[in-house]
Amino acid sequence: MIYISSNNLQSGMILAQEVWGKSSFLPLVHSGTVLNPSIISRLISKGIPGVYIELAGCEDITVNEIITMEEKIRVTNEIEKIFKSLQFQNCNIFNCVESVGHIADYIVDIVVKNHECMMNIIDIKNYNEYSYIHSMQVGIFSTLIGKKMGYKNDKLKELSVAGMLHDIGKVNVPLEILDKPGALTSEEFDIMKNHPSYAMDKLSSCRTLSKDTLDGIMTHHEKLDGTGYPNGLKNDEIHPFGKIIAIADVYDALTSDRSYRKAWEPHNAINYMISYAGTHFDVDILNSFLLVASAYPVGVLVSLSNNLKGVVIDTVPGLPLNPIVKILTPGEHHGEIFDLANDINLLSVSITDTLKDPEEISRVLKENSDFSLIKKANQ
């Protein structure tokens, strides 16, 4: 299967993976569905940015999900309930923290059991409630990074809880500041910069939270060079949990649609983060992040520097910018597997970009599709 953005979908394409909507307990569209104009319009109107479709020769491409979409929606809904309870103060803080602990147990269990968990950021970005999805994603990403750093279960759970609660202090920031589409004034930004401290006001009385968890939440906006907030801490003054959450937080924020900008593609976000290694981000922790990050998610169509087009079929831990690509351009290389991480004959070949031009995407699909199906669906 391959990933196609919703605005490039065509009638006759066959859905390779079910598509879920927020808060729904059944998929919006089932796998195997042949797309038609009304289904495509529905996907676009629901804000679904893209879907996986079937393509001849790509049947064996599968996306390894850390957590199923169904479970992600369940966890997101749980986090939403907890945040709203804390916001309106209609829940005992101990009960809320206990609920987050259960979710952390679940995430740690999955991350520890799976040998090669990678971040797949395409799927969950389909949905609107940014804060809750972001909290879950930062919890998962932080746990993945912590595992690569050799943390054991108890520490991973404390880290996961810190990742999920890192922005809980934002429930005290006025909505007109949180949701402001333009740049914040310096007064507004001063209020926003207090959200780690607001979190401490809410959580520090809760004895079931460890000092590491609280320190991680408090320091997640500090930067190694001292330009972060709220305290302008430097290097070793910043708790390791804070350094991990900072990386998970920035990566997820950059790769998400926001009111003021479209989501960055993962490879652009990774390049940006590498450019701040040692100034904003801890180099060793960034290296652990690169072991679980995939710059070009499986199923994405890409252009190579030798003008061939292909689809990413696998990612290589530690070398996120050099995945394994199956060539889709007709000719002598059609169907060949290019291992851009390990094949010394391909040292001069790199990915130049993901395929975005609708005409180019259409051409690649036509060159590789079984058009009898498309014609049948159009009749």
Q: Minimal distance in Å, beta carbon 138 to Fe ion? A: 9
**Adjacent-strand bridge partners of 4:** 51
d(CA 116, CA 291): 10
Which is closer to Fe ion, CB of 167 or CB of 252? 167
Q: How far is the CB of 250 from Fe ion (least distance, A)?
A: 10
How near is the Cβ of 166 to Fe ion at its closest, in Å? 6
Q: How far is the CB of 87 from Fe ion (least distance, A)?
A: 16
Cβ neighbours around 144 below 10 Å, total: 27
Say how far residue 192 (Cα) sits from the centre of its chain: 24
In the structure encoding, which two tokens stand for residue 147, read together?
A: 């595992």
Q: Are 82 and 98 in contact (CB under 8 A)?
A: no
Q: Which residues bind Fe ion (CB under 5 A)?
A: 167
Nearer to Fe ion, 222 or 282 (CB): 222
Measured from the CB atom, the residue of 136 and 365 that comes closer to Fe ion is: 136
Least distance (Å) between residue 219 CB and Fe ion: 11
Min. distance of Cβ 141 from Fe ion in angstroms?
14
Measured from the CB atom, is 143 or 219 closer to Fe ion?
219
Find the shortest distance in angstroms from Cβ 287 to Fe ion: 23
Q: Which of residues 78 and 167 has its CB atom nearest to Fe ion in the complex?
A: 167
Tell whether the torsion through CA atoms of 281, 285, 288 and 293 is positive or negative.
negative
Nearer to Fe ion, 249 or 265 (CB): 249
- Determine the Cα–Cα distance for residues 284 and 220; give it in Å rounded to an integer: 16
Find how far residue 93's CA is from the centre of its chain.
Answer: 28
Task: Pick between residue 137 and residue 354 the one whose CB is nearest to Fe ion.
Answer: 137
Which residues are bridge partners to 5 per DSSP?
Answer: 50
Contacts for 172 with CB less than 8 Å, ≥ 6 apart: 194, 195, 198, 201, 202
Q: Which is nearer to Fe ion, 158 or 167 (CB)?
A: 167
Least distance to Fe ion from the beta carbon of 17, Å?
Answer: 32
The smaller minimum CB distance to Fe ion, of residues 78 and 252, is found at: 252
The residue of the chain with the least Cβ separation from Fe ion equals: 167
CB of 145 to Fe ion, least distance (A): 17
Least distance CB 169 / Fe ion (angstroms) = 8
Q: How many other CB atoms are there within 10 angstroms of residue 342's CB atom?
A: 10
Residue closer to Fe ion by CB (options 261, 375) is 261
